[in-house]
Structures are given as C-alpha cells and as structure tokens.
Amino acid sequence: MEAFEYNTNPGRVVFGSGSIKRLPDEVKRLNKSKPLLLSTPQQAEQVKALEPILKDASITPAGLYSNATMHTPTHVTDEALEYANKCGADCVISFGGGSTTGLGKAISIRTGLEHISIPTTYAGSEMTPILGETADGKKTTRSDPKILPGTVIYDVDFTMTLPESLSATSGVNAIAHAVEALYARNTNPIMNLLALEGTKALAESLPIIVNSPQDQDARSKAQYGAWLCAMCLGSVGMSLHHKLCHTLGGSFNMPHAETHTIVLPHAIAYNAPKIPETMKKLADVLPESDGDAIKGLNVLLTKLKVKRGLKDFGMKEEDVDKAAEIAVSNPYWNPRAIEKEPLRETIRRCWAGEEAK
Ligand code: NAD
C-alpha cells in the first residue's frame, strides 16, 4: 500500500428520521439558549417547524432571518449580522441547502458563534471548512477549520419536499465530490471507501426518488450518500470538474447543481485516459455501467431526466471560448494536463448537451 496522509474534520453528526427532536439537546450541549434561525425566503415557512421543537424545551429562538441567498453575497451577511446582534443571538442554526449553510458559515466565522447545520439538499457544504462569498459580483473562496459547522443534523424528513429535479441534480453534485476525491492528488484509502460507498448509495437511490419522491428509504439512502460524498469534498482537493463548475457558475451565472450534473460525465471523460484505476472502481458502483464508468453516468443521468446542455440554461455559444480561457487560467491540480483545445471541446459538448464518451 502506498504511503498517505489522512486528515479528518472534527464535527458531530446526528442522523436519522425524526432526529430534529434532538435539536434542543444539541443547543444545550453547546451551553447556548438563543439561536438565530436561518433559511432562504423559499423555506421561510418550513424552518418555522423548528420553533415549537425548541420552545417545548424552553428555548426561545432569538429570531429568524430568512433571506439567505445563493453564493453568499456579503451585503446579505452584513444584514444578517446586524440582525443577529440586535436580537442577541448566541448561536446560529442554518436550515436549508448550500446557500443557507453558507450564510451560517459566514456569520459564524465573523462572530465566533457556534453553528448547527440542518441540511435539506445533498450539496454537502455542511461537511466542509470552505466558504465562498460574493462581493461586487466577484466570488472569493477561503478555507479555515473554524468555518466547519460544529454540529450537523441530517433529518431525512426535511428532504421529502426537495423537488424531484433538484433532488436529482443536487445528488449528482454530491457524486461529483466523491468522483474527484477518488483521483485527488492527496486522496487516501479511507476517502476512497467513503467516495465509493457514497456514490453507490446515491446512484441507487436517486432514480427511485425521481419516480417516487415520497420514498423515505430512498431519501434516507441518498442523504447518507450525500454525507459521505461531502466528507470527501471537505477532506481532499478537487480538480477539473470543480474548476469548470466554478468557472461556469461564477462567470456565466449557471445554476450550481444543474451545472455539476451537466459537466460531470464530460470532465470524467476528459480525465479518463489518466485515471484507469478510478474508472474501474467507479464503474463497479454505478448500476448498468457494464464496466464503463462513462456509460454508467450517462445511464444515471438519463434515468434522472435532467437537462444535459448548458445552452438550456441560457449560456451562449460564443461563451464557450471565454469559459475555456478562464478554465485554463489558474487551473486546479488535475490528473491530465489542462490543454486548451481539448478542454474547449469538452465545454462545447457540455454547452450543446451532447452525451459524454
Ligand atoms: P440552495 O441552497 O441554493 O437551494 C436551492 C433552492 O432549494 C432554495 O430555494 C432552497 O430554499 C430550496 N430548498 C432547499 N432544500 C429544500 C427542501 N428540502 N425542500 C424544498 N426546497 C428546498 O442550493 P444548493 O445546491 O443546496 O447549494 C448551492 C450553493 O451552495 C452554491 O452557492 C454553492 O456554491 C454552495 N456550496 C458550497 C459548498 C462549500 O463547501 N462551501 C459545497 C456545496 C455547495
């Protein structure tokens, strides 16, 4: 076995249907009593389910801030901070997807307030010490162990309302973390175990969810898979796939989970010649792959009935060149050298919605 380094992120996880009832105990464990609840405007009603659970344990939330926004704009964080100060919050509880988790992280790193995260998508931000923020239209990303939420409650019951299409794309977003962890420069056998188990759980459960969104066993399996994939994202470096998605999201305003879904098979196809072992391992956990990981991913995306082209989200053909230009500048480490022409062709295929091969 090759030598390796293994770093694990600290953090406490409470997993399972109904685990939200443990929320008051988790607040008390931190010796806190006035949590600020966070959500997006779309989940402003759903997050209110936490209030009676807290109040039954004599915890009155300091307040509710329901304006979490995609890509964590700093002016939103400033507004939330002002509110947190005014209402005397002594910890934050983020309830939602990566956008709300991002706001919880932004408040926590600025104030030192403890952060309990209740994820309701499969994006995985809750397991990472990474925070991406936008100011004046520019996105900057930083990593700091203090950004990692100290407690995460995975209660499948709050994922039951996640629309089928977002369940599908958010789940593939999670798989992308695992796939890139398999060939990361600093990967290790433990991450490989998590990545393969997480990918398998998601690849098996997502097609069931798309057809039967109320299937709680499938939802639970998907959330378990998303957790493992998120641990990969939080522990090892990401490569071409994530670089392309950050470029497309940051510079062309492409939607987060949908872009990950479109790009994944193409990014893997680009890297395939340099990662034969990974391709074999991946094929083994993707149903109906017949030993071919790209085929397995294509089959999965077909079953998930997702959009396959960036043009479906408004990207213009002339932006393909610009995207290739940006993606080759400051590239992340990647198993295959980043060459502009083949990369341009990869982005063109993503734009056109062609199948990866
Ligand atoms: P999101 O948080 O923006 O959520 C998308 C929409 O779905 C929102 O309107 C949200 O309220 C709604 N929603 C979420 N859960 C729901 C549920 N169970 N039922 C009904 N509606 C629900 O989307 P996302 O894909 O989870 O997160 C994307 C953001 O997270 C991006 O800004 C991305 O950069 C960031 N992200 C960061 C990291 C990190 O490690 N820092 C990791 C992954 C994602």
| Helical pair 276-285 and 293-304, crossing angle rounded to 10 deg | 40
Pocket lining: 158 vs ligand 1, CB cutoff 6 Å: yes
Say whether both 171 and 314 belong to one domain.
yes
Do the bridges between strand 151-154 and strand 63-65 make them parallel or antiparallel, or are there none, so unpaired? Answer: unpaired
For 134, the enclosing helix (H) or strand (E) is strand 130-135
CA 64 / ligand 1 centre spacing (Å): 18
Quick check: is 7 in a domain? no
φ and ψ at residue 75, rounded to 5 degrees: -70, -30
Q: Which residue has the tokens 């599908």?
A: 168
Residue type for 19, please? S
As a whole number of angstroms, the distance between CA 275 and CA 249 comes to 26
Q: Does 123 contact ligand 1 (Cβ within 6 A)? A: yes
pLDDT in tens, 298-307: 999 999 999 9
Residue 77 neighbours by CB distance under 10 Å: 22
181 lies in the same domain as 321 = yes
* 3 within some domain: no
180 and 84, same structural domain?
A: no
Looking at 159, 183, 202, which one is the last position of a domain? 159
Q: Does residue 215 register a pLDDT over 80?
A: yes
Substitution candidate for ligand 1 out of 45, 118, 121 with most atoms within 8 A of CB: 121
Among 159, 191, 225, the domain-final residue is 159
* pLDDT beyond 80 at 117: yes
Q: The CATH number of the domain where 132 resides is what?
A: 3.40.50.1970
- Judge whether 307 and 263 are in contact, CB under 8 Å: no
130 Cβ closer than 6 Å to some ligand 1 atom: yes
The confidence score (pLDDT) of residue 301 equals 98
Indicate which residue's Cα is closest to atom 38 of ligand 1. 125
Q: Is 125 in the pocket of ligand 1 (CB under 6 A)?
A: yes
What pLDDT is stored for residue 1 in this prediction? 86
Owning domain of residue 95: 12-159
| Residue 1 CA, ligand 1 centroid: distance in Å | 38
Tell me: do 138 and 171 sit in the same domain: no
Same domain, yes or no: 106 and 194: no
Ligand 1 atom with the shortest distance to the CA of 257: 25
Mean pLDDT, residues 258-263:
98
CA distance 197 to 184: 17
Residue 2: inside a domain:
no
> Tokens in use for 193?
């175990």
Q: Is the CB of 161 under 6 A from ligand 1?
A: yes
Any ligand 1 atom below 6 A from CB of 120: yes
- How far is ligand 1, taken at its centre, from the CA of residue 70, in Å? 7
Q: What is the pLDDT of residues 159-191, one digit of tens each?
A: 999 999 999 999 999 999 999 999 999 999 999
Q: Please give the Cα distance from 329 to 340 (Å, whole number).
A: 10
Cα 102 to middle of ligand 1, angstroms: 9
- Indicate the residue type of 90: D
Q: What is the pLDDT of residue 187?
A: 97
276 C-alpha to ligand 1 centroid (Å): 33
How many angstroms does the Cα of residue 249 sit away from the middle of ligand 1? 13
Give the SS3 label for residue 227: helix
Examine residue 5 and state whether it is found in any structural domain, yes or no: no
Which CATH number is 286's domain given?
1.20.1090.10
Contacts of 233 (CB under 8 A, 6+ apart): 124, 127, 128, 130, 177, 181
Q: Domain total for the chain? A: 2
State whether the beta carbon of 278 lies less than 6 angstroms from ligand 1: no
Give the pLDDT of residue 138. Answer: 79
Write down the mean pLDDT value for the chain: 97
Residue 202 lies in a domain: yes
Q: Are residues 214 and 160 in contact, defined by beta-carbon separation less than 8 angstroms?
A: yes
Assess whether 137 and 178 both reside in one domain.
Answer: no
Based on the fold, state whether residues 225 and 269 are members of the same structural domain: yes
Note the helical H segments in 74-153.
Answer: 74-87, 98-111
Verify whether ligand 1 is closer than 6 Å to residue 98 (CB atom).
yes
Q: Provide the pLDDT for residue 8.
A: 85
User: Region 232-256: what's the mean pLDDT?
Assistant: 94
User: What is the model's pTM?
Assistant: 0.97
Residues contacting 309, CB < 8 A, separation 6+: 262, 350, 351, 352, 353, 354
Q: Are 291 and 283 in contact (CB under 8 A)?
A: yes
In a domain, 73, yes or no: yes
* Alpha helix segments (H runs only) across the chain: 23-29, 50-55, 74-87, 98-111, 164-182, 189-211, 216-235, 240-252, 256-271, 276-285, 293-304, 319-328, 340-352
In a domain? residue 91: yes
Same domain, 192 and 139: no
- The first and second tokens of residue 245, run together, are 């998605």
198 and 113 inside one domain: no
Chosen domain end from 159, 188, 204: 159
Looking at the fold, whether 121 and 269 belong to one and the same domain comes out as: no
1 occurs within a structural domain:
no
Distance 130 CA to ligand 1 centre (A): 15
pLDDT band at 7 (very low <50, low <70, confident <90, very high): confident
Query: Do 253 and 290 have their domain in common?
Result: yes
Same domain, 98 and 245: no
35: left (phi over 0), alpha (psi -120 to 50) or beta: beta
For residue 99 and ligand 1, the question of a CB distance below 6 A is answered with yes
User: Does residue 70 have its Cβ closer than 6 Å to ligand 1?
Assistant: yes
What's the angle, vertex CA 73, arms to CA 67 and CA 77, rounded to 5? 60
The answer to whether residues 120 and 95 touch, using CB atoms and an 8 Å cutoff, is yes
